[in-house]
Structure 1
Amino acid sequence: MTDTITTDVTSDEATRLRDAIETCDPAPLLMSLVHVTGDLGLLDEFGARLEITEPGNHYAKGITPTSPPGTFPADVVADIRARAAAILTTESVAALGVPDDALFERMATVATSERVDPEFVPLLLEQAGFVASRRVVPVTVSPPADFDVIVIGAGIVGINAAIKLGDAGFDYTVFEADDEIGGTWWRNTYPGAAVDTPSHYYSYSFELNPDWSKYYPTGTEYQEYLLRVVDKYRLRDNIRFRTRVLSATWNVASRQWDVLTQNADGQTEKHHARAVITALGMLNEANIPDVPGLDSFAGTMVHTASWDADLDLTGKRVVVLGTGCTSVQVVAGIVDKVESLDVVVRSPHWLVPEKAVVNNVPDGEKWALAHIPFYQEWFRLRSYWFASDNLYSLPRIEDDWAAEHFSASPANDMVLRNAQAYLQKSFPNRPDLIEKLTPTFRPYAKRIVKDPGFFRALTRDHVTLHRASFERVTPDGVYTTDGQFIAADVIILATGFQLQFTTTIDIVGSEGRTLAEVWKGGDDPRAYLGVQVSGFPNLFVTAGPNSAPNHGAGHNILSEEQVHYIVECLQYLLENDLDAMDVRQEVLDEYNEKVDAALDKTVWVHPGAQVNGYYRNSAGRAIVPCPWRLVDYWTMLRAPHPEDLVLTPAADNRQDSE
């Protein structure tokens, strides 16, 4: 490691390294220098030059930062780049590998310019990709050949479950109703479809990807990532496509699940499994609004969840119905193609600016992610850190503040002021648009939307915004609830999905009750840890009630947390010679009492939240958000808690249920 980038200036690789050093994020670059040199003095030297703050300190105080959290001073940045130019070679090798917990805590504190407490270290090591998920239940028994697991769905969670079940030695089959893997990212191919969680974090911690083209991935690019993962782990042999699960019934005698499926030809087949994992997501059924005359429209009508790739919008009069993430993405994606665009918005969301949503990842950054030792892991750590528990205070109520303000707290007020300022800046001469686009609820009561160009699209001469809904549809257009008629060639329903927690499948538990009955048709779902339901042994629900990390991070961490827990539960059965585990009803009830009490102090339940938001049920109970910090929920799911469970010893004379 004696050559530096200055000794071979004509080398293409040296040029790429130089560009990477001048382009990439200086914080993970500094951590890479620590790894390459093994010089821990760099932590003391640069740590003393940074202002180390409490995590999320500016949020808690309601202070809008002048630069993104974790930004290093200019002189520090220049020094890091100069040191990197002198130290790094195109073939740099790390002298320091994965640090121990104490050293990692020091490094993470400098990397984020915020104090990182020991409780976060195991989570960060895993989620940043430094270490694989660590098994907790002792592994002394291998899964027997007759221990079959059925996974329902091949989206981000189902793929993860397949990988981890295979790694642990369990035989499994994934049933997928669609033609291909991907779930949301297979179905949603509308113009502008994208992920609103940073690319370099919204991926599996064990499959980091240095090649993202944008800081927020398009739906197409994310689907391509999932396809590569499926091919790498050779999962297709275990996936049954175009096969829908109709029912799953717990067989008390055989202590296993009898699962009935139907393929695309209508043929049904019965299967048996020791455990069933649902991986359907909570938003998987297109929400088609009940509007008189909808079927009478003579033009083209399409829902964003079933986009027609052959649909040509060039020169068409288009009406978009919708208000959330999908609507703002599709409007920004089609505005340059259409003759006229009418956007019908019933209840607008708070939008915030996020330049990175549309930014490409520079080539230098990509090179650094792929080639500089440990750079990618530290880059991912920062992506997670600043979009996770730092944001925990934002949807939480401070009673004294909320009693006198529209916002819920100083932290919530900071988001409100930021969104309001963005509205004013976007439409300086259009008070009519500001009025129509101002929500009547506090920030975070509904999902905060990062603007991909929606506000800019609304300023175009051929675009009209309506603060209304559809009253009725005619063959040639739409009447809105504010009395206007809009002639249309194409109607786009950007109305999202119906909230469903696995209730579309006839799942029958040990007492003969269906999950839909227990959950009151899906209107009042309750689960232990968001995963297990009393009366349904060896059934594991992923993306279940009150498990969504709605204050930050993304669906990917939920996937990894819950799949880890499920594998630990299955291994626990083997290690303890058990046939089944079920959660005690009193434990489930007590857990949900704690969930409700914690959520009562959030904007999702507190007065000011919108009852028609999908976070809440018909009674106003929050059924989607997880009330805990991400680190708390991650810790809860490290291993099963035997005292909370009803455990059934293995039967020596288990018989086939057929």
Structure 2
Amino acid sequence: MGSKPTYTVSDQWIGEPRPVRVVVVGAGIGGIAAVKLFRETFQDRPTTLVIYEKNHDVGGTWLENRYPGCSVDNPGHTYTYSWEGNPSWSRAYVGAEEVFEYYKGRAKAYGVYQYVNFNHRVVEARWDEYVGQWKLKIEKEGSIIIEDECEVLINVCGMLNQWKWPSIDGLDTYKGHLVHSAIWDSNYSFKGKTIGVIGSGSSAIQMVPKLQKEVKSLISFNRSPSWITQEFGAKYIPEGRELVYSDEQREEWRNNPNEFLKYRKEIESIIVTSIANKFWHAQFKDGPVQEEWYRQTRQNMETALGGNPELISKIVPTFAVGCRRVTPGHGYLEALAKDNIVVRSDEIRRITPTGVQMTDGTNLALDAIICATGFDNSFRPSFALIGENGVDLRDEWREEPRSYLSVAAAGFPNYFMATGPNFPLANGSLVACLEQTLKYAFRAVEKIQTQGVKSVSPTREAVNDFQEHKDAIMEKMVWTSPCRSWYKNGKVDGKVWGPYPGSVPHFFELMGETRWEDFKIEYRTSNRFQYLGRGNTHREVSGGDLAWYVTEPGANLSA
């Protein structure tokens, strides 16, 4: 047997950073935030950041989605980065184009365009255990394959990224205008047409009231009922979507940041604390908050449908509120009650060249079919992600995505997700939670860079424990009630992959500290303490204050 190599002290000061390359996949809200956080965290360090984005510009879902009525569900002042609001929102609930312009403006301000490669789609990432790097293959401009490598890979693609057509026979035979809500064709006019909208999720709920006013007739195919609620924040913004901020109000916010911050905190507290925490308690099965929410929401929906018993039987759910994603449907129920809309809740048998054939044999002729059928919510990455032992995460998660706290996966070193399985996508302030997962990933980058670490990955035991806890608490929640929901990947029953098992403040506290005891850590050398170096610090080699720990009450030498 060979002897252990002689240990050599590294010629460095403690924690001297080594060069590390970070690749971020996606330049949506998360990718834009990643650049700002990266620049603040790693300034003056030998750290490289590269972003690969499949689209031609930043913005992600807000670049792609342009269907009529597309807008935020929450008040716009809760849909900005926590560190910088937008005093110039035109209204309380802003539309897709205005949201896109805000985030594009932030991308310019944060220098995102210096880091991003557009029209570059990551097609494969393969972990190289020997060197401790991800080897990447990227499709450039739709044809050329280029290669890259990085120590840390962060997936910020989001959960509403891979749109999907419905699995209905004959879809490819249809001769009319066929469009998905996520790839909208703004050149087509629906005026005076007979159209069908397949789906009853948030996209359909937003577009149907707009389309109803211009089409000759509309058939809404609602396979599953959805809870339509009041606007989030309606109690505090009673004007709802009708509230337009005056020029004077916006100018005051721009000139008085203290007042603007006070307003933002009030709205955020309402959404995150009052409503989100109430929302969390409302998700417990058979609890008093859930019972009251069910009663009030059902009453409001029945009223909006004009008391029509046929529509009520098709549209108003009987399952718990929140089992499917609740959506504030501004004018949606009222539109369904109009004379030029027919609601079909029975199954579609097939798509024909001229329209839709139902299971009862009825043939419905349609000039256009809109598929508001959502996205691939399996949480499997959109590219081949091959970790330890040649395992592809897409295969490992084929039946069930099992994450560590939504941010990492066992067997996939130095890989982090900004919105992984059981991220708080329906628990409250989504953007602020997204910031927390990125900060978590960058803490891992710092550890890898400064402590001689080659790789970090959560242990199987830690993942299993989190899954056990998550599944146990979900049994108490409405999300495991029998309803068809993308929280369960479109299933009626099954494990909940969507929301986080706790409130937003709960998630913040969890993300605020890294439990390194839950990670398998491999070092670049045989001695984990080699990063201690020659025994001195950066303060000493850079001429810093060597008595920083000496203080005196009331004294301030820097003043």
TM-score (norm. length: structure 1): 0.73
| 1:433 aligned partner | 311
Q: Post-superposition shift, 1:394?
A: 3.9
Quote the RMSD (CA, aligned, Å): 2.2
SS in 2 for 1:338: coil
Q: How far 1:609 sits from its partner (Å)?
A: 3.0
1:352-389: per-residue Cα shift (whole Å, max 9, x none)? 13351343233443234223341222222222222224
**2:35 aligns to what?**
162
Provide the C-alpha distance between the structure 2 equivalents of 1:560 and 1:482, rounded to a whole number of angstroms: 49
The equivalent position to 1:350 in structure 2, one of 227, 230, 236, is 227
Q: What is the DSSP-based 3-state SS (H/G/I as helix, E as strand, rest coil) of the residue aligned with 1:150?
A: strand
> Which one of the candidate residues 483, 487, 501 is aligned to 1:615?
487
Q: Deviations over 1:492-519 (max 9, x none)?
A: 1111112132433111112221112322
Letter in structure 1 aligned against 2:104 = L
Q: Map 1:253-268 onto structure 2 (within 5 A).
A: 253-268=130-145
2:515 is the counterpart of 1:515: no
Q: Identify unmatched segments of 5+ residues in structure 2.
A: 1-12, 232-238, 528-559
SS in 1 for 2:373: coil
Question: What secondary structure sits across from 2:97 in the alignment?
Answer: helix
Instruction: Output the amino acid matched with 1:308.
Output: D
- Tell me if 1:374 matches 2:258: yes
Distance in 1 (alpha carbons) for counterparts of 2:436 and 2:380: 19
- Cα distance in 2, alignment partners of residues 438 and 560 from structure 1: 36
Separation in 1 of the partners of 2:170 and 2:77? 44
Structure possessing the higher relative contact order (Cα contacts under 8 Å, 6 or more residues apart): 2
Question: Taking structure 1 as reference, are residues 536 and 466 closer, same or farther at Cα in structure 2, changes over 3 Å only?
Answer: same
Task: Report the secondary structure of 1:261's partner residue.
Answer: strand
The SS at the match of 1:159 is: helix
The more displaced of 508-517 and 538-547 is 508-517
CA contact (8 A) 1:280 1:502 kept: no
- 1:582–1:615 distance in 2 versus 1, CA, 3 Å: same
Structure 1: how far apart are the matches of 2:422 and 2:132? 28
Which one-letter code corresponds to 1:620 in the other structure? G
Matched, 1:635 2:509: yes
Structural mapping, 1:69-88, within 5 Å: none
Partner of residue 192, structure 2: 315
Matches of residues 443-592 of structure 1 in structure 2 within 5 Å?
A: 443-519=321-397, 521=398, 523-554=399-430, 556-592=431-467
Indicate if the aligned counterparts of 1:207 and 1:229 stay in contact, CA closer than 8 A. Answer: no
| Pair 422,203 (structure 1): closer, same or farther in 2 beyond 3 Å | same
Name 1:31's counterpart in structure 2.
none
Q: 1:313 to 1:281 in 2, by over 3 A?
A: same
SS in 1 for 2:388: coil
One of 139, 145, 148 as aligned partner of 1:271? 148
**What is the CA distance between 1:329 and its match in structure 2?**
0.7
Q: What's the secondary structure of 1:380's corresponding residue?
A: helix
1:143 deviation in Å?
Answer: 4.8
Aligned with 1:392 (options 259, 277, 293)? 277
Is the 2:35–2:111 contact (alpha carbons within 8 Å) kept by the matching residues of 1? no
**1:652 & 1:396 partners in 2: Cα distance?**
49
The answer on whether the counterparts of 2:283 and 2:479 sit within 8 Å (CA) in structure 1 is no
Following the alignment from structure 2 to structure 1, what is the Cα–Cα distance between the partners of residues 439 and 382?
Answer: 25
| AA aligned opposite 2:38 | L
4+ residue runs over 6 A deviation? none
2:245 is equivalent to residue 245 of structure 1: no
TM-score of the superposition, structure 2-length normalised?
Answer: 0.85
Q: Kindly, what percent of the aligned residue pairs are identical?
A: 28
Q: Is the 8 A contact 2:440 2:511 kept in 1?
A: yes
Q: Deviations over 1:60-95 (max 9, x none)?
A: xxxxxxxxxxxxxxxxxxxxxxxxxxxxxxxxxxxx
Letter in 1 for 2:325: R
AA matched with 1:243: H
**Distance (Å, rounded) in 2 between the aligned partners of 1:409 and 1:509:** 43
2:498 maps to what in 1? 624
Aligned residue runs from structure 1 range 203-218, under 5 A: 203-218=80-95
What are the superposed Cα offsets for residues 320-346 of structure 1, whole Å, 9 maximum, x if unpaired?
Answer: 111011001111122222111111111
2:24 aligned partner? 151
The count of corresponding residues between Structure 1 and Structure 2 is: 501
Deviation at 1:283, TM superposition (A): 2.6
Unaligned runs of 5+ in 1: 1-138, 403-407, 654-658
| Alpha-carbon distance between aligned partners in 2 of 1:427 and 1:624, rounded to the nearest angstrom | 30
Question: What letter is aligned with 2:524?
Answer: A
Deviations 1:516-547 (A, max 9, x none): 2322x2x3111111111111111101210111
The one-letter code sitting in structure 1 at the alignment partner of 2:420 is G
Contact 1:152 1:278 in 2 (8 A): yes
